[in-house]
Structure 1
Amino acid sequence: MSALGANIVLLVGAGGALGALARYAVGVLLSGRTADTLAVNVLGSFALGALTVVSAEGSALSATFGVGFCGAFTTFSSFAVETVLLYEDGERRAAIRNAAVNLAGALLAVGLGGWVAIWLS
């Protein structure tokens, strides 16, 4: 592995550690069955949308914050589990609403993040 490749691995790891800690902090701050997951997915999608505008793919910034931080901060696996559990608990409408709000919110946030980054640059 080249020196650049080794550095990228360390940057992804550092960003991932920070993202995981931030994810945990949001979980502590927000109560509710799915509120924390929705918040991190929308915020992380916004950040990643902005980052894709200001950072070249494969750059140190992209590796640290795009792959590392946002990858660890957002949690679509938890979103999927929470949605299935709502459905299995008989809360069918809540499950559908959770799926729709998470997906639409994340998609809108990516677009808005990109737009904001373009507007600020």
Structure 2
Amino acid sequence: MTLTSALLVALGASVGAPLRFLVDRWARRHSRAGTTLGTLIVNLVGSFLLGVVAGLPDATSWVLPLVGIGFCGALTTFSTLAFELWVFLERREWKPFAATLGISLGAGLPAVWLGWAVAAG
């Protein structure tokens, strides 16, 4: 990785991470679903955007480090999803566990495909 690529990753992450924080705080204030809604939103949006980046036929060399790795990497969060699922398991809250897992995977994979299809045209 070049210094330029590393700086592009850092620049993308400097936008993705605060946006993730803001989406999470918004979701906690405006949703009965609480903590999991923010995680779901950022993961689905990030999945779609990563699909777009992957589907771009003539993407320039700066798009993947800036948007794909930096922005999407900082915006999305597998670790928070895993933690939220763990909390549901500990509390034996089976319905929210199944819904969170099912929606995350069931909507995340199609989001990547849709992003790729949109970009690939």
Q: Same fold (TM over 0.5)?
A: yes
Distance 1:80 1:46 in 2: 20
Distance 1:80 1:95 in 2: 10
8 Å CA contact 2:24, 2:35 repeated in 1: no
TM superposition shift of 1:66: 0.3
Distance 1:88 1:57 in 2: 44
SS in structure 2 of the partner of residue 34 of structure 1: helix
Alignment of 1:21-40 (within 5 A): 21-31=18-28, 32-40=34-42
Code of the residue aligned with 2:63 in structure 1: it is L
Distance 1:56 1:22 in 2: 27
Which residue does the alignment assign to 1:11? 8
8 Å CA contact 2:27, 2:35 repeated in 1: no
Deviations 1:67-108 (A, max 9, x none): 000000001110010011011112012112211111111101
8 Å CA contact 1:51, 1:114 repeated in 2: yes
Distance 1:30 1:97 in 2: 17
Q: Alpha carbons of 1:62 and 1:56: their partners in 2 closer, same or farther (altered >3 Å)?
A: farther
Deviations 1:38-91 (A, max 9, x none): 000000000000111116688211101100000000011100100110111120
Q: How many residues align?
A: 116
Q: Alpha carbons of 1:58 and 1:79: their partners in 2 closer, same or farther (altered >3 Å)?
A: farther
Code of the residue aligned with 1:27 in structure 2: it is D
Code of the residue aligned with 1:9 in structure 2: it is A
Which residue does the alignment assign to 2:116? 114
Code of the residue aligned with 1:99 in structure 2: it is L
Root-mean-square deviation (CA, aligned residues, Å) is: 1.8
Which runs of 5 or more structure 1 residues have no equivalent in the other structure? none
TM-score w.r.t. length of structure 2 = 0.88
Alignment of 1:1-121 (within 5 A): 5-31=2-28, 32-54=34-56, 59-119=61-121
Deviates more, 1:49-58 or 1:62-71: 49-58
> Percent identity at matched positions?
36
